[in-house]
Structure 1
Amino acid sequence: MNANNIVDATTRSPARVDEVLDRFFSLSTTRAATLAPAYEALWKTLRSNTNGGKRFRPRMVMTAYEGLGGEDLAAAAHVGASFELLHTALIVHDDVIDRDFVRRGIPNVSGSYRDIAHTAGLSIPTAEHRGMSVAVIAGDLALTGAFRLMGLAETNSATRARLLNILDDAVFASAAGELIDVDFSLYSGVPSVEEIVDMERLKTAVYSFEAPLQAGAVLAGAPESVISALGKFGREIGIAYQIVDDLLGVFGDEHATGKTTIGDIREGKRTTLIAYASTRPEWSAISHLVGKSSLTPAEAQIVRTELEACGAKDFTERLAGEHADRAVAALADGNVPQRLVDELTPIVAAVLERVR
């Protein structure tokens, strides 16, 4: 996900989160060095894959926490860092599932270790297997690190237990969403729009929006009505974000998003765009192109033209808007302090602005 627009819409600095992550990786790398040089190297690679992110999820934690009057920024930073490590774990494992060796234009964990193995003389298939094997280990380390950092947040035992439950629920939901997404990719049929939306909610919206916002609220000692409202806001705006992300994967500006507009079509990625289009008469003209591994730019343009002609693009934009409207309504219904509403509202606009 490209979170630039949303990062610009938030005012909370992730500097304290960076400090927590720096300490975590420094201590872990030093600890690993006492066991094996290769293990130390793995921790350094994992650290480099965590650095450079927009710290979007920690910003959600800090926005909710400070917006609700929280003052212990060190504790909030541990919670935010926990969600950043969770994000690292999930994308490292997701790259293994997708057999991707590059992220943001550079080798990911799998790619780095594949290249090392191939340079050492291993065949490409064997080198790729080693790369993915190491990535599984790296993702596991990031995942356990997420729980460790959450547990280190200085708060009372009841709050800590609830924070750990929120984190556990986020992992549980994301795993379900990932499994559903994998199943979608293995079968030739096209899921319904509702099935796609549910998958995206589970896989990404919960851990990226809903859980971080609720965690910040819980740490701040917010009333249940506010915690619930922020959860609904996060869920709805998270769905809207993913729907927009799917739109940008086909109709976006590659220079602005850093994402190709042919990859999703070539992959045959199941999105709300494709789900809606599959119910229209125009689908027969492009169904053989969606998922075609040798898809050309000219063929991709044919798909885009038909997606617009059948109304899929307009439908998907409206759907994103509907979920964004529900997010705004959730803030109004849950007694969320106006100070926090004023901080969250620009995020809604930023999500929708990405396709305008």
Structure 2
Amino acid sequence: MITLPAHPGIDAAIDASVARILARAGELGPGFLALGDALSRATRGGKRFRPALVAASFEAFGGDPARTPGLYPVAAAFELLHTAFVVHDDVIDHDTERRGVPNIAGEFRQRARVRGADADGAALLGEAAAILAGDLLLHEALRLVAFADVDPIARERLHALVDDAVFISAAGELADVENSVLTEDATAEGTLEAAFNKTAVYSFQAPLLAGAVLADAPETALQAIERAGGQLGLAFQLVDDLIGAFGTQEQAGRESGGDLRESKRTPLVALARDTPSWARVNDALALAHTGPIAVREAQVALEQSGAPVRLRAVIYETLEQVRASAADPALPGTATVLLEELAAAVEGRIP
């Protein structure tokens, strides 16, 4: 993940939101309090990149945190939004762990089994708890923006950004699942669109725009940062797809080749479909779930198809577009530097 400077104000705003959820949960019974505790654990750790990006953009456009009390609550909203998406994504993927420890669904499965539920009942409770926790986090993110101390015009624009982030990310997630289930429909163009929608808007474009809006950036600068943010987000997600297929365990946060074991139909796989090697790739992917030797065979088949080279070319081209957008004269020099540094950081992650 890309690292940006930490902001104690962001941490304090996130902690305050979690404390509010826990206080409300404590009034509503032991089960709901347990959900609040699990939700609290889900928000801990991580680099909190998205809220840091809001703050970095705000500062790049000359904003003064001392004169903008709404900055950190708005930035925190993007971290809660991210956590909500992660929690829901785990439900979609039927995952019960994240980075080696039980996630919310996993915690509530264990809670159910200890209290006498069978396997089906435990799975039902685990997924229900995770869905509800994600819903609470989405609500809290919207609440932070609604109550942030900003002027009415900025609040309206920030609401529109969060609204876009939720709708577009949901569309991307649905398309991602459709591409995995309806494999014949998974075209390179469709998977690229899904990759953009699933990640680019809420992870890069909206946070960069939010910081610029809070700093009262002019309209021409907002248009430039919107364009660059979308390009950055797409490049970031495509690099993640390469990491999911070829990255080390340290890069991916799990065993190498995780996306191949899970048969994800990413742009990388869609590009392989357009090659003469597709039959071999498809057969190898069908067996990748069986173990590390099969994963390695799928990696070799993909490499020999040329798809990774083509995807890297798309990434480099997209990053060049970021750098061209960063040179827009509507942007202050500090914003240009921020975008160039982000592009370099994304490029540095390419496996």
Q: Compute the TM-score of the two structures, normalised by the length of structure 2.
A: 0.95
Counterpart of 2:324 in structure 1 is 329
Distance 1:275 1:160 in 2: 40
Superposed displacement of residue 23, structure 1: 1.2
Distance 1:141 1:47 in 2: 11
Counterpart of 1:40 in structure 2 is 33
> Structure 2, unaligned stretches of length 5 or more?
none
Q: What is the 5 A alignment of 1:70-81?
A: 70-72=63-65, 74-81=69-76
> Structure 1, unaligned stretches of length 5 or more?
none
Q: Is the 8 A contact 1:229 1:334 kept in 2?
A: no
Counterpart of 1:28 in structure 2 is 21
- SS of 2:284's equivalent in the other structure is coil
Q: What is the 5 A alignment of 1:1-356?
A: 3=1, 6-7=2-3, 10=4, 12-72=5-65, 74-189=69-184, 191-292=186-287, 294-333=289-328, 335-355=330-350
Q: Is the 8 A contact 1:190 1:270 kept in 2?
A: no
Distance 1:242 1:89, change over 3 A: same
Q: Is the 8 A contact 1:307 1:313 kept in 2?
A: yes
Distance 1:51 1:313 in 2: 34
Q: Is the 8 A contact 2:73 2:145 kept in 1?
A: yes
Distance 1:355 1:161 in 2: 37
Superposed displacement of residue 230, structure 1: 1.0
Distance 1:68 1:293, change over 3 A: same
**How far does the alpha carbon of each residue in 1:106-159 deviate from its partner, in whole angstroms, 9 at most, with x for none?**
111111101111122211121011000011111110000000011122111111
Letter in 1 for 2:216: G
**How far does the alpha carbon of each residue in 1:267-309 deviate from its partner, in whole angstroms, 9 at most, with x for none?**
2111121111111111111312214364332222222222222
Distance 1:182 1:257 in 2: 20
Distance 1:256 1:176 in 2: 27
Superposed displacement of residue 244, structure 1: 0.7
- SS of 1:323's equivalent in the other structure is helix
Q: Compute the TM-score of the two structures, normalised by the length of structure 1.
A: 0.94
Letter in 1 for 2:220: S
> Does 317-326 or 250-259 show the bigger shift?
250-259
**How far does the alpha carbon of each residue in 1:247-286 deviate from its partner, in whole angstroms, 9 at most, with x for none?**
1112111134323223211221111211111111111113
Q: Is the 8 A contact 1:190 1:278 kept in 2?
A: no
Distance 2:253 2:107 in 1: 21
Letter in 1 for 2:55: M
Q: How many residues align?
A: 349
Q: Is the 8 A contact 1:289 1:303 kept in 2?
A: yes
> Does 236-245 or 37-46 show the bigger shift?
37-46
Identity %: 39
Distance 1:334 1:122, change over 3 A: farther
Distance 1:181 1:144 in 2: 24
Q: Is the 8 A contact 2:260 2:288 kept in 1?
A: no
Q: CA RMSD in A?
A: 1.5
Superposed displacement of residue 355, structure 1: 2.0
